[in-house]
Amino acid sequence: MKVVRNLICALFLMLSITQNLFAEEIHLKNGDKVSGDVVRESDYIIVVDTAAMGEVTIEKEFVKEPEKEPTKEEKASLWDKTLSLGYSLSRGNTEESAFNGAVELHKKTEEDEINAKLTSLYTSDEKKLDEKKFYGLLRYAYSFGEEKDWYHFYKFEGDQDRSANINYRLIPATGIGYWLVDEENYKAMVEVAAGYQYTDYRDGTDSDSDAVIVPRGFYEKLLYKNLKFRQDLTLYPSLSSGGDFRLRSETSFINPISDKLAWKISLIDEFNSSPQGDTKKNDFRLISAIDLNF
């Protein structure tokens, strides 16, 4: 009998400890917290049994809603996935029209940002598709600072441009950036990176490599109803080749057709102050494309 009594006492002790361990913490909208056991709840009030003040009645209108863990579907929706198919008209090192395709993945939270992008330009010659230009980007950034406006990033770029005598060009870089504005319909940021550029040429010219500074500016704004304007400008000044530099500017207008489709017109200007071989300094492309978000 004594053993049974001791077991019952131990059980009540364990239950008491368990209740204390799992006591709830009510967060109020003004930042205060009330800890204790919820003994009663209705549509309008919560009654909490606290250790210091006994039972406390809290009106629900003053209670902060708990943050819910995102579901798998919500986590998946954090990714913006875009497939772009269109036609481009080129001037500069190529004087022709071509098929343009691109795939882009983008995920942005308060803590970090991930970008992945592939673009390719094809021309048709005797019913064969011939790749003329290719570009790839991987970029990761994480926020820091009290307001999370600053960020540190790493990125890796690679491209091929047969018409500009580029067999392949690789640029790993790292740097910092700052969001001037980061709203749904208005975004503006600046960033600067230090990197290393390696270029291999198609005509047998010796490959070259040099250190580069990579400043970039990005601006996006909703102009009228659903029409969106976007400007992305990147410079690649060389640190070891005097005043040599490259510039890439992309100006776009995006007009949604439906929830999943948008029509985009882009003007891309690529400038190289010291091109190799028999190539021009400027390449222009005007692209009309349909973007599919999936």
Shared-domain flag, residues 165 and 264: yes
- Please report which confidence band the pLDDT of residue 124 belongs to, taking 50, 70 and 90 as the band edges: low
pLDDT in tens, 244-253: 999 999 999 9
pLDDT of residue 3: 47
Domain boundary among 31, 62, 93: 62
Compute and round to an integer the Cα radius of gyration of the chain.
29
Structural domain that includes position 8? 2-62
CB 141 within 8 A of CB 151: yes
Q: Distance between CA atoms of 146 and 248, rounded to whole angstroms? A: 32
pLDDT reading at 170 higher than 60: yes
pLDDT in tens, 77-114: 678 999 999 999 888 877 778 899 999 999 998 899 99
pLDDT of residue 27: 79
- Sequence-separated (6 or more) residues with CB below 8 Å from residue 212: 171, 173, 194, 195, 196, 197, 236, 237, 238, 239
Percent of the residues in the chain that have a pLDDT greater than 90, as a whole number: 50
pLDDT in tens, 36-65: 888 888 878 888 888 878 888 888 888 877
Q: Distance between CA atoms of 99 and 88, rounded to whole angstroms? A: 6
Shared-domain flag, residues 18 and 118: no
pLDDT of residue 193: 98
Shared-domain flag, residues 127 and 24: no
pLDDT of residue 227: 95
Checking DSSP bridges between strand 97-108 and strand 112-125, what pairing results, if any? antiparallel
How many domains, in total, are found in the chain? 2
Shared-domain flag, residues 116 and 46: no
